[in-house]
Structure 1
């Protein structure tokens, strides 16, 4: 009798409509994470290569006292490099995105504050590679990085689980 029920054309399989295998993921997000990771590795590398110049760049903002600026100049590049590596490898990607997003927001705020106070500065973001760019280009680059980081944050597995 059970054999007749299973062979009936009206009985549906319990797996009907369920895809087998892992769901397909877009390759866009890992590529974006890799590109952003490479950008921060490069930016951190140029600062780590010459921390004295980066200290001067930090002091040009006239926000931090000298001792804190020196410490920041020696440690911040390595944070950027490690977070960039995390984005490239996918290991601790969510934490790296959170840290880099925070750093980018603080940096954008510092740049705008300096401009409002009439301080004309070169940000030192990418060493000498971007020294001659106008302020608006620096700002657009930073907002593009922020948008990419927020996009990566929005597709992180933790955020998808909260929805």
Structure 2
């Protein structure tokens, strides 16, 4: 009977050989899960408005923008639920991190091209925020996702 050693980190604990998440790790997963569920519901609630928000970036052709507007909110909701439940959390973190990188890139590209836009991600709550604050929020979300991803317990290889 050999047990695998676990690496200790400030956000991880060990109990009977199984990784146990700290309250800080759990709180971060819950907060991010709720944020993405909330933003997904806002977008799913009004897909026509979200389609207009996507088209404001002037990156995607109309038919692609419509499809993105109808499917992306549900992907965000499912990924948010995965963060809350822990089921397929690694995949959800990979998807959400990728989406945030794409969104940050699209936002910066729009700003460089002189397009003043409202992403529509948080509804009216962030409508009048300056561009810099939008980026701060986006980078904070990305940092939280990457922190969870880097601190997630890794599957041990089978021997």
TM bucket by the smaller chain? 0.7 to 0.9
CA deviation string 1:19-38 (max 9, x = no partner):
97356542111110010000
- Structure 2: segments with no counterpart, 5+ residues: 1-13
User: Structure 1 stretch 49-58 or stretch 125-134: which is displaced more?
Assistant: 125-134
Relative to 1, partners in 2 of residues 1:139 and 1:161: Cα closer, same or farther, differing over 3 Å? farther
Q: How far apart, CA to CA, are the structure 2 residues paired with 1:65 and 1:110?
A: 14
1:57 alignment partner, one of 53, 57, 67: 53
Q: How far apart, CA to CA, are the structure 1 residues paired with 2:156 and 2:147?
A: 16
Q: 1:74 maps to what in 2?
A: 70
CA RMSD of superposed structures (Å): 1.7
Q: How far apart, CA to CA, are the structure 1 residues paired with 2:156 and 2:146?
A: 17
Query: Rg larger in 1 or in 2?
Result: 1
Report the Cα offset of residue 91 of structure 1: 0.7
| Matching of residues 1-163 of structure 1 within 5 Å | 21-22=16-17, 25-158=21-154
Q: How far apart, CA to CA, are the structure 2 residues paired with 1:20 and 1:129?
A: 42
Runs of at least 4 residues off by over 2 Å: 19-25
User: What SS does the aligned partner of 2:37 have?
Assistant: helix
Q: How far apart, CA to CA, are the structure 1 residues paired with 2:135 and 2:15?
A: 46
